[in-house]
């Protein structure tokens, strides 16, 4: 099969031509739901259980009003129901303030629901989103659920419906980058306030919080040789920040990147250097719990870290899922 690239990147789906931001994701979803009734009924049934499969919905993208602009609206005239979808990239979630802007239009329409879409799990969303705003329910759908709905409805579809389902599946899988268990591991380290370059230079903590980077010796001392996808930084006996790694490099010496660091054995050897993306929820500290050594370096599943009450509980959950329970 012939290949197609755009700006040097392979175009794997017709929806890839849209882009990969939140509006592009909901545009692809809205288009496919409008073309595939089975998918529309399955998704709407998740968020509005009284939805009738015989209903004839109307779909609208990027609807502007006096306050805010919605990503995707699904109108069910027969039941005076308005379903508003608000998508976010990665593990982010809409704010309560943003969702509250849409509540008046639901009230004016009659009834309805506000739906958030992102990679965040329902457990994480439950800690960040209210159950309702002024009587309008708030429901979170992980993109995994949409992919599950595509798999469920695929056997029911033929012809063009099946084609658009396949295009949406390919597109979503590319954009949200579904990961195996190993891929969603978070590498957790401890930061201190020492200044490796001396007075007037950043502390180890400030490299992360202000310069949005982290570095460590490469290929020695048990440090990873393959860059993790995520890192969690601990101080004050708690995880304080979780970041996605957006870029990784290995430099011959750390002074190649930070010339003000002193010469010596600790600096003049290969180092991995990570660029950090925006913080990932939760934004409140996650206490270590019992049995976590202050200087330990840990591998923890992202969803466990995001939803467990302590780092210890997240580590226990991680090892249980890996079939290696803690003693």
Digit-coded pLDDT (tens) for 172-186: 988 775 444 457 899
The pLDDT value given to residue 17: 77
Distance from C-alpha of 310 to C-alpha of 315, rounded to nearest angstrom: 9
Beta strands in the chain (DSSP E): 5-6, 9-10, 58-64, 69-76, 81-87, 111-118, 132-133, 136-142, 185-190, 213-217, 230-235, 238-251, 271-279, 286-287, 298-301
Tell me how far apart the 2 most distant CA atoms of the chain are, in Å: 75
Segment 98-122 shows an average pLDDT of: 91
Segment 67-89 shows an average pLDDT of: 88
CATH topology of domain 182-321: 2.30.130
**Predicted confidence (pLDDT) at residue 199 exceeds the cutoff of 80:** yes
Window from 52-66, 142-156, 193-207, 255-269 with minimum mean pLDDT: 52-66
| Rg (alpha carbons) of the chain, rounded to whole number | 23
Provide the H-helix boundaries in 3-92: 22-35, 37-47
Query: Checking phi first, is residue 278 left (phi over 0); if not, alpha (psi -120 to 50) or beta?
Result: beta
**Predicted confidence (pLDDT) at residue 26 exceeds the cutoff of 70:** yes
Percent of the chain with pLDDT over 70: 94
Distance from C-alpha of 34 to C-alpha of 31, rounded to nearest angstrom: 5
The pLDDT value given to residue 66: 67
Q: Are strands 111-118 and 136-142 parallel, antiparallel or unpaired?
A: parallel
More confident residue, 8 or 250: 250
Mean pLDDT of the chain: 88
More confident residue, 321 or 242: 242
Distance from C-alpha of 100 to C-alpha of 129, rounded to nearest angstrom: 11
The pLDDT value given to residue 182: 53
Segment 153-162 shows an average pLDDT of: 90
More confident residue, 283 or 180: 283
The structural domains of the chain, with segments of one domain joined by +, span: 5-176, 182-321
The pLDDT value given to residue 312: 97
The pLDDT value given to residue 177: 59
Three-state DSSP class for residue 243? strand
Window from 92-96, 180-184, 289-293 with minimum mean pLDDT: 180-184
Distance from C-alpha of 321 to C-alpha of 318, rounded to nearest angstrom: 5
pLDDT-based confidence at residue 326 (cuts at 50, 70, 90)? very low
The pLDDT value given to residue 178: 47
Window from 170-179, 272-281, 283-292 with minimum mean pLDDT: 170-179
**Predicted confidence (pLDDT) at residue 324 exceeds the cutoff of 70:** no
The pLDDT value given to residue 321: 86
Q: C-alpha distances in angstroms, 5 versus 9, 59, 141, 206?
A: 5, 30, 31, 40
- Nearest alpha-carbon partner for 232 in 270, 179, 309, 285: 285
Segment 306-323 shows an average pLDDT of: 92
Window from 15-19, 163-167, 321-325 with minimum mean pLDDT: 321-325
Percent of the chain with pLDDT over 90: 58
pLDDT tens, position by position, 115-134: 999 887 787 788 789 999 99
Segment 287-315 shows an average pLDDT of: 94
């Amino acid at each position: 099969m012939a290949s197609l690239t755009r700006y040097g990147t392979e175009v794997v789906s017709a929806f890839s031509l849209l882009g990969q931001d939140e509006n592009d994701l909901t545009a692809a979803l809205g288009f496919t739901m409008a073309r595939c009734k089975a998918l529309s009924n399955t998704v709407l049934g998740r968020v509005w259980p009284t939805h009738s499969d015989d209903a004839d919905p109307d779909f609208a993208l990027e609807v502007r009003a006096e306050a805010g602009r919605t990503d995707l609206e699904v109108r069910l005239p027969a039941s005076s129901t308005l379903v508003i979808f608000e998508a976010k990239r990665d593990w982010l979630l809409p704010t309560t303030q943003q969702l509250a802007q849409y509540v008046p239009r639901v009230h004016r329409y009659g009834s309805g629901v506000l739906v958030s879409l992102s990679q965040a799990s329902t457990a994480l969303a439950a800690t960040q989103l209210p159950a309702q705003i002024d009587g309008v329910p708030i429901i979170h759908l992980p993109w995994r659920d949409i992919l599950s709905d595509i798999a469920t409805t695929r056997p029911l579809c033929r012809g063009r419906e099946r084609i658009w389902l396949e295009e949406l599946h390919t597109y979503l899988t590319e954009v949200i980058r579904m990961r195996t268990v190993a891929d969603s591991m978070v590498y957790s380290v401890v930061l201190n306030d020492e200044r490796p370059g001396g007075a007037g230079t950043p502390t180890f903590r400030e490299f992360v919080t202000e310069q949005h980077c982290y570095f460590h010796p490469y290929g020695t001392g048990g440090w990873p040789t393959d860059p993790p996808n995520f890192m969690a930084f601990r101080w004050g006996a708690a995880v304080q920040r979780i970041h996605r790694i957006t870029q990784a490099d290995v430099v011959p010496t750390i002074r190649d990147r930070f010339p003000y660091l002193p010469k010596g054995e600790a600096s003049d050897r290969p180092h991995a250097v990570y660029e950090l993306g925006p913080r990932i929820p939760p934004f409140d500290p996650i206490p270590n719990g019992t049995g976590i050594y202050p200087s330990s370096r840990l591998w923890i599943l992202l969803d466990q870290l995001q939803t467990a009450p302590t780092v210890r509980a997240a580590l226990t959950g991680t090892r249980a899922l890996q079939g290696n329970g803690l003693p």
